Structure 1
Amino acid sequence: MNEFLETLKDCGYDPHFVKTKEEAFELSKTYIKSGMSIGLGGSTSVSQIGLLDYVINKNDITLYNQYEKGISMEENTNRRRKGILTDLYICGTNALTKDGKLVNADGSGNRVAALIFGPKKVLVVVGKNKIVDSVEDGFKRLMDVAAVKNIDRMNSKSIEMGKDPRHNLDNIANKFTYIKADEKDRIVLIIVDEELGF
Structure 2
Amino acid sequence: MQSGEIIKQRYKIMAPRIIKALQDRNFEAYFCETAEEGAKKALSFIPEGETVSWGGSLTIHEIGLTKLIKEGNYQVIDRDLAETEEERIKMMRQALTCHTFLSSVNAVSEDGIMINIDGMGNRIAAIAFGPESVILLVGMNKICRDRDAAVTRARTETAPANALRLGLDLPCTNTGCCFDCSKKECTCSQIVEMRCNRVPGRIKVILIGEAFGL
Whether the TM-score (by the shorter chain) exceeds 0.5 is yes
1:161 alignment counterpart: none
In the aligned structure 2, how far is the partner of 1:133 from the partner of 1:84?
31
Q: Does the alignment pair 1:143 with 2:155?
A: yes
Runs of 4+ off more than 6 Å: none
Residues in 2 aligned to 1:190 and 1:133: alpha-carbon distance in whole angstroms: 19
Decide which moves more: 165-174 or 30-39: 165-174
Shift, 1:174, TM fit:
0.9
1:183 positional shift? 1.3
The amino acid that maps onto 1:57 is: E
Give the 5 Å matches for 1:82-161.
82-155=94-167
State the distance in 1 between where 2:110 and 2:97 align.
29
Structure 1: give runs of 5+ residues left out of the alignment.
156-164
Distance 1:134 1:128 in 2: 14
Between the aligned partners of 1:102 and 1:116, the Cα distance in structure 2 is 12
1:34 aligns to what?
48
Is residue 57 of structure 1 aligned with residue 71 of structure 2?
yes
Report whether the alignment pairs 1:194 with 2:210.
Answer: yes
CA distance in 1, matches of 2:108, 2:97: 24
Percent identical residues: 25
2:191 partner amino acid: F
Partner secondary structure for residue 172 of structure 1: coil
- Aligned to 2:117, the other structure's residue is in SS state strand
TM-score w.r.t. length of structure 2: 0.82
Counterpart-to-counterpart distance in 2, 1:52 and 1:61: 11
Counterpart-to-counterpart distance in 2, 1:8 and 1:185: 12
Distance 1:71 1:122 in 2: 27
Letter in 2 for 1:166: D
For 1:171 and 1:185, how far apart are their aligned partners in 2? Answer: 33
Name 2:59's counterpart in structure 1: 45
Deviation of the 1:184 alpha carbon? 1.9
AA aligned to 2:54 is: L
Equivalent position of 2:8 in the other structure:
none
Alpha-carbon distance in 2 for matches of 1:73, 1:171? 18
The reply to whether residue 11 of structure 1 matches residue 14 of structure 2 is no
1:3 Cα offset (Å): 2.9
Q: Report the RMSD for the aligned CA atoms in angstroms.
A: 1.6
**Alignment partners' CA distance in 2, 1:61 and 1:19:** 26
Deviation of 1:57 (Å): 2.8
TM normalised by structure 1 equals 0.89
1:166 aligned onto 2:138:
no
Deviates more, 1:165-174 or 1:135-144: 165-174
Q: Counterpart of 2:194?
A: 179
Task: Show structure 2 runs of 5+ residues with no match.
Answer: 1-14, 174-182
Give the Cα separation in 2 of the matches to 1:3 and 1:20.
Answer: 18
State the AA in 1 paired with 2:60.
V
The C-alpha deviation readout for 1:97-126, integer Å capped at 9, x for no partner, is 122221011111111111111111100010
Give the match for residue 79 of structure 1: 91
Match of 1:2 in 2: 16
In 1: Cα distance, 2:134 partner to 2:187 partner: 22
Deviation at 1:44, TM superposition (A): 0.7
